[in-house]
Chains A and B, each alone.
Chain A
Amino acid sequence: MALLEVADIHVFYDKIEALKGISLAVEEREIVTLVGGNGAGKSTTLRAISGLLHPRQGSIRFAGRSLAGLGAHEIAAGGVVHIPEGRRIFGRLTVNENLELGAFTRRDRRDVATDKEQMLVLFPRLRERLKQLAGTLSGGEQQMLAAARALMARPRVLLMDEPSMGLAPMLVEQVFETIGRINQQGVTILLVEQNAPMALGIANRGYVLESGRIVLDGPGRDLLDDERVRRAYLG
């Protein structure tokens, strides 16, 4: 049984059906990516998994348990952590406070301190800026903070929504490198990207979304070589 299982979910914004029956599965320790054009429903899928939206139909199971009826904060506390589109760090809080909030639901204060230290080793730029308001960070630094803050929760599954968005090409490389490293430490990753080549390159498996439906899925390499995917997303 997969760690995260989404079965035939339908999600509506008022009367607009944004997801028309999405099913996907993510195995423990995998990197799975969702690619697709603007408005395909990638963010909506992640928002449904993390409990920000509730599917009208279908089910979402994590580690065998249904997530139906749980609030977003309960799902986060259960180990499914979502880094939303646009990073959404708390700009009026300090970098340190942002990191502490990442560990909001944890009670093991000593381990939290160790984890924070690890984050600061992984992202040394954040150490220099610990006392600064997070709103003063550059785009790349904010992405580091968003990732570090999410990792502070010790997630089992990390949902990442376009982590490379708006970053310079050199930083994009770094972001993907970091994703690989996080995954090697045992975190399962569901990655949403518009940068399909990079995402499919790093992922074990991928799903291609179009207007709220999955039109294609398979190993990352295969999708990368698929003629249809090439024409649609790789130019």
Chain B
Amino acid sequence: MVGRNIARLNAVDVVLWGLRVGVVAVVVIGTVGTLIKGRYNAAQWFDFIMFGLTIGSIYAQIALGYTMVYGVLRLINFAHGDIVMTGAFAGYFVAMPLDRSGFLEDNPVLAMAAILLVAVIVSTSIAVLTERIAYRPFRRVVGLAPLICAIGVSFFLEQTFRGMFGSAVKSYPDPQWQRAAFHVFGFNVPRIDVLVIGLALIFMGLLYLIVQRTRMGTAMRAVAEDGEAAALMGIDVNKVVVFTFVLGGAMAGIAGVFYAFVYKQVYFLMGFTPGIKAFGAAVLGGIGNIPGAMLGGFFLGMVESVGPTLFLDGIGIPAPYQLRDLIAFTLLIMVLIFRPHGLLGEALAKKRA
């Protein structure tokens, strides 16, 4: 019995099991080790968690764009990360003069509203244009061509912005009020984190209401499920697709501004890493699943922020915080191998049955 089972194991299974055991071992041993060593105090862990929530809320907003477009068109919009970049740039060109004139410092609410508004207008317009010009002609094409087209759009946006604004990294304004922190129970809560998380939650809540409660939102869910049947209801699928890109583009613009304020910089390739990670977050939540994308974003942000120190410090890896991306991408690869339908995949399958 046992002998036969062992004989049936092939090399791939062995490697996969090795991978599984290895990752679990690193996580468990590392976590125990880190906690026993006790090199980090509560305030430091709190900082990691706050940052995880902040960056996670940004990933969540970007992930929504991937998941909605995938849901409606079955297209992985490879250029979505670059839409985030266009929002960050648009925000930059509003934020800079406001910063120089002191307006950003003195009127944070109005200034942020203006920056976000312009960023959203620009990112949304570009998202809609990419759909109209590049993706629509590929709508009925099967195979890899649409994905390759999306990769082309990504390069086009990156190189266009590089051509217009140069390849140098520009630093984003850093107003005093963002650097200050609230003090709650002895912990420092940076204001920028409160702003980013709070607004992200509000915008995502709004988006969720739009998708669940409005006529266009319902039409969008119908198209995602069966575009042809939706057309037979009198739903203009092209309009729904544009609407989807509007929602995704708006979220991407907001995320771009937040991302730039958190890292204090913009440059033409800045959308790539958060784009890939947010795509991973969407897969994590089960691609096409809107609440899943939000959860996936927060989960990924948290793992990437808390994970390096928690898992790696205990096994003696120095300066683990630099290995954030390694942790994030390891998580994504593990999910793709072991749960390709996402962490919520099972629940979704049950719901459909």
Q: Which residues of A contact B (CB under 8 A)?
A: 50-52, 71-74, 76-77, 81-82, 84, 88-93, 97, 100-102, 104-105, 133, 135, 149, 153
Contacts and interface: CB of A to CB of B under 8 A. Distances in A.
Contact of A153 (B215, B233, B236): B233
A84 B231 contact: no
Given A88-B228, A104-B215, A93 B234 contact: no
Contacts of B226: 88, 90
Given A92-B351, A92-B352, A104-B219, A71 B232 contact: no
Contacts of B231: 51-52, 71-73, 76
11 contacts: A72-B228, A72-B231, A73-B235, A73-B237, A82-B232, A93-B218, A93-B221, A97-B218, A100-B218, A104-B215, A153-B233
A80 to B, nearest CB: 10
Nearest to A106: B234
Given A92-B351, A133-B351, A135-B352, A102 B233 contact: yes
User: Considering the complex of A and B, which 8 residue pairs feature the smallest CB-CB distances, nearest first?
Assistant: A105-B234, A88-B229, A72-B231, A76-B234, A77-B234, A73-B236, A101-B233, A104-B234
A72 B226 CA distance: 14
B126 interface: no
Task: Determine the interface band of chain B, counting residues with CB < 8 A from chain A.
Answer: 10 to 19
Contact of B234 (A52, A92, A135, A153): A153
A47 to B, nearest CB: 9
A84 B232 CA distance: 9
B225 interface: yes
A88 B221 CA distance: 14
A76 B221 contact: no
B216 to A, nearest CB: 10
A74 B231 CA distance: 9
A149 B351 contact: no
A90 B226 CA distance: 7
Given A92-B221, A93-B218, A84 B234 contact: no
B225 A93 contact: yes
Nearest to B352: A135
Given A84-B229, A92-B221, A104-B215, 15 more contacts: A71-B236, A76-B234, A88-B226, A89-B229, A90-B226, A90-B229, A91-B352, A92-B351, A93-B221, A97-B218, A97-B221, A101-B222, A101-B233, A101-B235, A104-B233
A199 B234 CA distance: 27
Given A84-B229, A104-B215, A133-B351, A90 B222 contact: yes
A101 B219 contact: yes
Contacts of A84: 228-229, 232
